[in-house]
Every structure is written in structure tokens, then in C-alpha cells.
Amino acid sequence: MTAIYSEDTIRTLDWKEHIRKRPGMYIGKLGDGSSMDDGIYLLIKEVLDNSVDEYMMGFGKTIEIGLNEKEVTIRDYGRGVPLGKIVDVASKMNTGAKYDSRVFKKTVGLNGVGIKAVNALSSQFIIQSFREKEGRLAEFARGDLIEEQKLPANGETNGTKVVFTPDNEIFGKFRFIPEYLEKMLRNYVYLNAGLTILFNGKKFQSKNGLLDLLEENMSSPGLYPIIHLRGEDIEVAITHGKQYGEEYYSFVNGQNTSQGGTHLVAFKESFVKVIRDFYKKDFDASDIRTSVIAAVSIKVEEPVFESQTKTKLGSREIGPQGPTVRNFIMDFLRTNLDNYLHKHSETAEILLSRIIESEKERKAISGIRKIARERAKKANLHNKKLRDCRSHWNTNDERRLETTIFITEGDSASGSITKSRDVNTQAVFSLKGKPLNTFGLTKKIVYENEEFNLLQAALNIEDGIEELRYNNVVIATDADVDGMHIRLLLITFFLQFFPDLIKNGHLYILQTPLFRVRDKNQTFYCYSESEKEKSVRKLKGKAEITRFKGLGEISPDEFKHFIGKDVRLEPVQLKKEDMVADMLAFYMGKNSPERQDFIIENLRVDEDVVPLEQV
């Protein structure tokens, strides 16, 4: 039956209905909190941006953030929202003071949408404002106003307080990972010297801006002291490490532009040109940038971003009357970086040596790279190692943030996932046997080893992660000794040659159930021994229990539950104290006796591990 297209089919959604029906337009992907770009973190960021903008305008040096399970509280000490507009700013689209450039300049939030999205997507949203010994409160539920009332000031300092709980109807079973929030907060203080953020009592401050940022994120010392340059509306920090690839942190008006944009493109181009001019030699751009670790932050009037999530800058000018972003950054580096290198000859010599070393390595493997590319192209055409998806991360596709590739072992596991997957956003790459231990090897091995060459080609990361084809790279192996070993070998590969893939939050481990517990009416999938016992009790002991020994034993129909909206992904994270070189040397080096002693000394019984004799 053909649907009738008439006046009755035309609908006008109010603001909150539209946000709740199309949340991806406002906060990107929903997710469950396992990824740094999941929507629940953007909700916090939207509120926090307003508080940081107050600080940038000179009001309030401290922001307090509290997280109590799923309830978030953010309190600033700025000017406070004008009391008569407290409901409007939280519930009327395109309402805000940031349209008035005299009140807010060079801010991130300009379109009057962010806090309304938080309100609409929260089961409870409370906003309080205190101004000049008066206060006001407005409480909402899923965007509907519940009450508005005056508050006794009781000596409260001026400012705004927002309390909200993300809605389970929208986000399902979600969790906040404190480490992700802490990384976000560090970025805020690096870019706003003098700002103090308290997160559940833990203090975040920075005196040296982007210099602190690089030092915090580097897992080993740079080859030379960090070059730290500051100017009006621009700050950069640059060094080179010993790792492969390029590592960048870019910001606009304090916003972490994780997808880069016009300013990052301009920085890379300008950096290469200044280096070539300084050494008076036409080095290949890749040789100059190999193993670079850099951060760039600029301030732009009325910035244009490519989406509401503000992760990629589209602006081409610094401001209505200003120069282009490209010329602004080029002029700054041409003067300041060139001067720095002239004044610091030792740094200039180390940098030159690194460039020459990169050039030699590139030329040594150039022939192998060409052959490997051709081999990868043929492999993609003639075998089934990669089952690709239709959407990709390095495009403007609406579902780009959901794009995922599962790296599996064996044909049975990859077959089950392939039959269960969403062909629009999920790809599958099948490994053949255990991969090589790459610790201590050079990048030449990536092209000589067929498995790694094809994996690199599938991910499209030969020249860095900018053109990475999938936002989520997921290792999907059996939960047994062999599966754990394969995980370690793959993580070693990424740490060795593509560490920025991990540092930028793209690598995950797929969690799959160990047990299926069911009766005639209900089925529970359990990820631990304790979950299994709870499920057995729910079924009052009349349960059939199945122990999954490998991914290949899980049918495609069941796999849909584990890689769909309820997928459990465990992020692979690096912290400052994780000294990558030392970790790899200990766990993957040729020191078996030491590792054996370590295992014996640290052996423990985990209640969620099932003894083999009980299986």
C-alpha cells in the first residue's frame, strides 16, 4: 500500500522533539561512554564551554565539576545568566549573548544550541544563576519545564550552576570514564593559563600552556627541548620524538579540533616551508614531519566549524577584517620559528639530523613500499581479508563516527561477524594465524610482512592517521590464551608504528560474553562468572548454561547482540606514566626469564576467571 502524501503528513517538531529525534545532528554519535567522542562527553563539554567562555572574558577563575555516577554538576563563578532569561537560554533555540560580539569575543559556542541539546537529552536538567545577591532556578525533564523559582542568595558568589543526568531513553546503558573527562579538562587548562578546574576535588591547572600539554602526552622525552612559541591569538609547541608517524593536537578558541581543519593544514604547510627555508634545502615534507609531535592553538572571531560537534575548523579567515588563517600562521612561524632556530643552534642540529635520518629510511624502503602497495591493491581485489563498509571516517558521512573495523582471527570468527554486521558502518579484517612480534623491528617489516602490509592498507594509515578509514579499530579475538596473545601482538604493532592511533582513542578490545544462560522464556549473555551466577538465580536454577570457547562458536544471529547498539568496547589507553619503550621491552622483548618471574610473583585468582576443570 502506497503512503498518502498530504497536508496531514507534514509535521513541525518543536525544539526538544527535533533534538531527541535527531540527536546525532547535535552531539555526534550516542555511544555508551567507551569512546572519547561519545555524546555523553559532549553534553559535559557544551555546558563547560559556557563557563570557560566566561573565564576568557575575564570573569571567574575557578570551575567546579562533580560527577556522581551519572549525575553531572558544573558550577562557575562568572557573571551568571541574567535571571530573567534563565529559562530562555536553556530552552529557546538560537538564544544567547554570544551573538553580541561586544559581550563575547573569540568564543566556541556561537549558535545558541549547545545547552539546549543538553537539556533536551537529559532526564533531569537544573540551571541556577546567582547575580548581585539574587538567584533563580529552572528545572526541566527531557526539555519540559517543571518549575521556575527565585532562590535565596545566601551569600552565593555570582555564577551559574548546571546539574544534569543524561537520559537513559537516549543513551541506554552508559558509563562515564573519568580518564576521558580528565583529558578533556587538561586541554581546557592548557589553553587557558590561570584557569583552575576542580573535578571531584582533583585540581587541574597549567602555567605553561601547550608546553605542558606536550610534556603530559609524550611517553618519552623529545629529541630536543620543546620549541614553545606564543603570539597574539596563536600558540605553538613543537618537538620530534623517536616514534613513527606524526602526532598533532589542534585547538580553536580553546576547542579541541580533533579532526583538524584549515588551521592544522596551514600549520603543517608553514612548518615545512620554514624548515626548508632555514636549512636552504628542499627536503621532502614527509621527512620533515616524520615523528613530529606538535600542538597549535589559534583564536578566531566567529569561527565556522564543519559540524555542531566542532571537531574540524572550516574558517578561512581569522576574523571579518583579519588575514587568512594560512597567512596568519605562515607569518607567525616564518618570524618566530626561524628566529628560534637561529638562536638555538643545538636544537637546529638535532632537528637536521632527524630529518636526514628519516630521509635515509624513506629511500631505503621506497622500492619495498611501491611493491607492497601493488600487492595490497591486488589483495583487496582478489581475496576476502577485508569486508569493507559503505561509510568511512575520513568523509563527511553522517554516520562517520560510528565506522568500525573488527580485526578478527580465523575464518569462522570473521564469518560470524561479517554475517551479523551493519554493512553501512562495520567492516571486518581477517587475520591468518598469529601476527609477527614487531618489537624492535623497523618500519620496513610493515611492508615486507603480508599481514601487516594488508592491515595497514585496509586502515589507510601508511602516511598517518589523518586518512584513517574507520573511527573505531576493534581487536576481536577469543577470550583464551591464544586470543590474548594476538591482542598483545597487535597492540605492540600499533604502539611501535602507529602510536597516535592509540593516543587519539581509536583502538578498542571487543568484549564478548563468556556464557549464555537461558530457559524457555529468557536468555542472558554473561561477561563474567558473577554475571552468570546472577542470571542463574533470576531463572531460579532452571537454566541451560553454555560456555563460549571462541568467537566462531557464536552464531551470526547471536553476534548481532554483541556488535550492535549494546556493543561493549574496552578502550586501549595510554597514560603519561606508561613509558612505551620500557613496556614493550619488558613484555615483548627477549627477556623470558624476567617475565616468567614477574608472572609467578604477581599471579592471582580472579573470581571472573573460570578454572578449566569447571568448563
The sign of the CA dihedral 52, 255, 205, 186 is positive
Nearest to 329 by CA among 394, 216, 250: 250
Spatial separation of the C-alpha atoms in residues 17 and 143, rounded to whole Å: 9
pLDDT score recorded for residue 612:
33
In a domain, 335, yes or no: yes
Half-sphere exposure of 543 (CA within 13 A, CB side): 21
- What pLDDT shows up at residue 475? 95
Identify the domain containing residue 553 by its residue range. Answer: 383-512+548-614
Please give the pLDDT value at position 334.
96
Residues 199 and 217 in one domain: no
Region class of 126: left (phi > 0), else alpha (psi between -120 and 50), else beta:
beta
Which DSSP string do the residues of 395-454 spell out, in sequence order? S--TTGGG-EEEEEESHHHHHHHHHHS-TTTEEEEEE-SPPP--TT--THHHHHSHHHHH
Please report the pLDDT score of residue 6 as a whole number.
54
Helix (H) or strand (E) holding 569: strand 568-571
Single out the residue in 154, 174, 204 at which a domain terminates.
204
Q: What is the CATH number of the domain that holds 299?
A: 3.30.230.10
| Pair (200, 214) in one structural domain | no
Do 284 and 402 belong together in one domain? Answer: no
Q: What is the pTM of this model?
A: 0.80
Is residue 375 situated within a structural domain? no
Instruction: Cite the beta strand spans of 188-233 per DSSP E.
Output: 196-199, 202-204, 227-231
Check whether residue 325 and residue 404 sit in a common domain.
Answer: no
Q: Are residues 323 and 396 in the same domain?
A: no
The verdict on 425 and 326 lying in the same domain is no
Q: Are residues 46 and 168 in the same domain?
A: yes
DSSP code, position 593: H
Cell (9 digits) for 440: 624492535
Grid coordinates given for 568: 561493549
DSSP label at residue 156: P
Question: CA–CA distance from 485 to each of 434, 474, 478, 492, 606 (Å)?
Answer: 8, 15, 10, 11, 19
Beta bridge partners of 125: 140, 164
Reduced to 3 states (helix: H, G, I; strand: E, B; else coil), residue 151 is: strand
**Which residues in the chain come in under a pLDDT of 50?**
5, 10, 97-104, 109-111, 606-615
What was the pLDDT predicted at 467? 86
Residue 603 is predicted with a pLDDT of 63
Counting the structural domains of the chain, the total is 3
Indicate whether 182 and 217 sit together in one domain.
Answer: no
Co-location of 191 and 214 in the same domain: no
CA 521 to chain centre: 40
Query: H/E/C letters for each residue in 398-412?
Result: CCHHHCEEEEEECHH
541 in a structural domain = no
What is the side-by-side strand order in the sheet with 568-571?
A: 386-387, 426-431, 404-409, 472-476, 507-511, 568-571
What confidence score (pLDDT) does residue 405 get? 96
DSSP 8-class letter at 284:
-
- How many Cβ atoms sit within 10 Å of the Cβ of residue 510? 23
Query: Whole-angstrom Cα distance, residue 576 to residue 351?
Result: 24
Domain check: are 199 and 336 in the same one?
Answer: no
The answer to whether residues 127 and 193 belong to one domain is yes
What local confidence, expressed as pLDDT, does residue 66 receive?
A: 96
